[in-house]
Structure 1
């Protein structure tokens, strides 16, 4: 199965472009929940993703509920500074499971009703109180690589063996 990065109403095209580059480099699927704060034709988005953008599997959704309904067997994790479990405490080792890491918009994070509804699946990346949060693209990379590490980088081996 796959690792998925979900951006809930992202606002900054460069962050999405950087995350798209990570997705291309890790065989990770990117999901964009609308509305977006930019056009996916935005030159800043493509610039951040460079020539990797055509290699990114991107899916667009009108709502997070639509995405969750499309993957009823998926394991959804909501990454927020108020999460109650460290991201590193979770087991992402099953390669037959779809793992979804959901990130909120840069200025507001995830909606409170979403984090309340899925409180048991809210994760946090530890940090000092000197910053409000980590950069969105850095946070996404941390989660993707932790899941891949636990899976012995199987997603990279699949791509390498097919080329």
Structure 2
């Protein structure tokens, strides 16, 4: 399973995902542009000391992400889904895609 963040705006959320990537060995894909500087103190604080251990790839665009994405379903997270999270059946090669926090 892999995580992808599409144009994230909140550095603390990215930092938390970096921690998750490091602790669970999950690939993390950041699709740019982002709404902050990667040197942001808030992101570094949220990532703690796990930053170098994370499996993060930065993509300059959606097209770049798509061109290099490994096979597997692209699972979009939204508040408007027809299926609830608890009813959804995840697969090991899924890519979990989260959109911009400020617009969805």
Normalised by the length of structure 1, the TM-score is: 0.59
Q: Are 1:104 and 2:87 counterparts?
A: no
Unaligned runs of 5+ in 1: 110-163
Distance 2:4 2:23 in 1: 16
Distance 2:77 2:20 in 1: 17
* Structure 2 match to 1:27: 25
User: How large is the Cα RMSD of the aligned pairs?
Assistant: 1.6
Larger radius of gyration: 1
Write the mapping of 1:38-117 to structure 2, written as runs, cut at 5 A: 38-71=36-69, 73-94=71-92, 98-109=93-104
Distance 2:70 2:48 in 1: 33
Runs of 4+ deviating beyond 3 Å = none
Normalised by the length of structure 2, the TM-score is: 0.88
- Aligned residue pairs total 104
* Structure 2 match to 1:7: 5
Q: What secondary structure, in the 3-state scheme, does the structure 1 residue paired with 2:56 have?
A: strand
Distance 1:51 1:19 in 2: 13
Distance 1:17 1:29 in 2: 14
More helix by share: 1
